Chain A
């Protein structure tokens, strides 16, 4: 019955210009990926032996995983802290997280030299490898996210047996998800611990895993704010202002802890002298710390900002921009690249990243349209706004 309704709605579906543009990006991305599989990574990218990791790792992997952190943060708030009032924004966060991780995996299937062997991580395991931990945790956590989101897809069908089973194991599942997330969010920072001679001392620190985890939590909350704001506009819904305002109140504590540890670590390492903004790298760090952390802390400490949709959005965007810059700094800009070759991302690399992001947005919009994604619509029938 539901399938029938959905089908008739699909038949009447007239794609908007935005959908057509996103769809075009997806198709271009698929074509570029096919060229890569036929002729090699070098055929479509500017990656080389000096820069063996480029924007697919800096953006699609490192930023993708960090920006998907809203899912485990919200799940922890709703189920571990048992704050049920946050339930209306839980489902979209979990969907954002699941799609984010799915996008990461698609990007890795393009970036890996031998994607057909990705399962080797399950049989040949080197316990010293941080990347093994990242890979295994990301795979397992994506499965956890899928299970957490499955009820949304199934609950309007007659086949609700799995939904009941999933309800029964929700809390253990959420705890598993939070543990896996803590591990791989921090491990993405640990990936760079093995590069003490290559990563600039302003970023290299034994606390890299802690920094990555704290920024992931804060950017996860910021993404919940962004995604709620965007959904409110795109689907003409009310904004959950009170809930978002309470989330925003937590951000200064997390980012504040990050900022104190970050500056304390620089001071303890005797690196404060490197902060003099006379070199481009020091300027990048200043932008990260001021625009990406200090200003959002000030903004979200003010009640009037937290109560304004515009203030919430600006603060969230600053945090997101700061974390994206941080991930690029650590993995690309502040790295010393041996061998003397340069790197400027190619159009093909952008085509892959754009295609993946576009596919993610389309998938989100599709689920939002045909499934009970938003808490306040749970008892309403599906309506297509034409």
Chain B
């Protein structure tokens, strides 16, 4: 495969046994504490009454959107989408404003709430183990998954694989690959046997959420220039109009003294 081929993770909820080995692998690989891993388990857990039991769980991941809202929102450009898939973080830029957390339609970025200034708090989220991809390896969670609930490969192949599984197993899956079109498409694709809400996934529109805000931002500079010209024109017109009215009576108006009426400060200067 070419180095810039977009990669993706495919998760199949029917294969997940809630063993949390992915979380342990993430914790070890990225050196984050277990109660603060970048992957966390969501889902309805075990449902139904014995013997008709059903399990629904999933490792909640960064979706690695094709058009990430976090990257669009970040004022200092700390987030970038790599061509091979991961959305990665430049911690040296981050100012801790947490707008990315608000912008993300999947609620993924987390913040180090209990770190003071000296501890240098940051945002954390899954990086798709970008450092491992650079070495040609798979993300740690995928490599450790016992049941192959997590798979990794080129996005188009993963998408085709997902659709094959739906077609080959009628009635087994919800007939939709979550992430194919959500927020304009993501690099984390999800197959499920239960409605996606039960895995803790939100409903997200197909149009990337940052479409409208970026359109508005493009208009900002032209609007500012036009508004400045308009205000100048109004100020000029008002003054011309006043001059026209006052000319017959002669120059009675006191010279414009602007922000403050100029003060006779001379006497105060005297000792």
- Name A's B-contacting residues (CB within 8 A): 1-2, 36-43, 47-50, 52-53, 76, 79-82, 87, 90-91, 112-118, 120-121, 124-133, 135, 148, 151-152, 155-158, 160, 163, 166-167, 170-171, 175-176, 178-179, 182-183, 187, 190-191, 193-198, 206, 209, 336-339, 372, 375, 378
Contact = CB atoms under 8 A, between A and B. Distances in A.
B210 A194 contact: yes
B245 to A, nearest CB: 12
A151 B239 contact: no
B129 interface: no
Contacts of B106: 338
A131 B107 contact: no
Contacts of A129: 72-75, 77, 99, 217
B93 A120 contact: yes
Given A114-B94, A175-B235, A206 B110 contact: no
Contacts of A49: 101, 107, 110-111, 113
Interface stretch (B49-57, B153-161, B187-195, B201-209): B201-209
A194 B113 contact: no
Given A82-B239, A156-B265, A40 B76 contact: no
B179 interface: no
B150 interface: no
Contacts of B71: 126, 128
Interface of B: 69, 71-78, 93-99, 101-103, 105-107, 110-123, 202-205, 209-210, 212-214, 216-217, 220, 223-224, 227-228, 231-232, 234-235, 238-239, 242, 257-263, 265, 268-269, 271
A346 to B, nearest CB: 12
Nearest to B115: A40
Contacts of B269: 1, 158
Contact of A82 (B122, B123, B238): B238
Nearest to B72: A128
Q: 8 nearest interchain CB pairs?
A: A113-B96, A338-B107, A42-B113, A132-B75, A170-B258, A126-B77, A52-B101, A114-B96
B219 to A, nearest CB: 10
B112 A190 contact: no
B228 A175 contact: yes
B122 to A, nearest CB: 7
A158 B116 CA distance: 45
B105 A128 contact: no
Given A129-B74, A155-B260, A338-B202, 7 more contacts: A37-B117, A113-B96, A114-B94, A126-B77, A171-B258, A194-B210, A196-B205
A87 to B, nearest CB: 8
24 contacts: A38-B118, A39-B116, A40-B119, A41-B111, A42-B114, A81-B234, A82-B235, A90-B259, A113-B111, A120-B95, A121-B75, A125-B76, A128-B73, A129-B77, A130-B73, A131-B97, A132-B75, A155-B263, A155-B265, A158-B269, A167-B257, A183-B224, A194-B210, A197-B202
A40 B51 CA distance: 48
B210 to A, nearest CB: 5
Contacts of A131: 73-75, 97, 99
Contact of B271 (A1, A37, A133, A195): A1
Which of A37, A127, A157 has most B Cβ within 10 Å? A127
A46 B227 CA distance: 41
Contacts of A156: 263, 265, 268
A127 B112 CA distance: 26
A156 to B, nearest CB: 6
A115 to B, nearest CB: 8
Given A1-B269, A132-B75, A194-B210, A113 B95 contact: yes
B209 A197 contact: yes
B76 A124 contact: yes
B72 A113 contact: no
A58 to B, nearest CB: 12
Which of B75, B119, B239, B261 has most A Cβ within 10 Å? B75
B200 to A, nearest CB: 8
A178 B95 contact: no
B115 to A, nearest CB: 5
Given A80-B238, A151-B259, A113 B97 contact: yes
A170 B259 contact: yes
Nearest to A375: B261
A148 B259 contact: yes
Given A53-B102, A118-B95, A1 B268 contact: yes
Contacts of B121: 40-41, 113-114
A133 B71 CA distance: 15
Contacts of A128: 71-73, 210, 213-214, 217
Contact of A120 (B76, B123, B260): B76
B212 A206 contact: yes
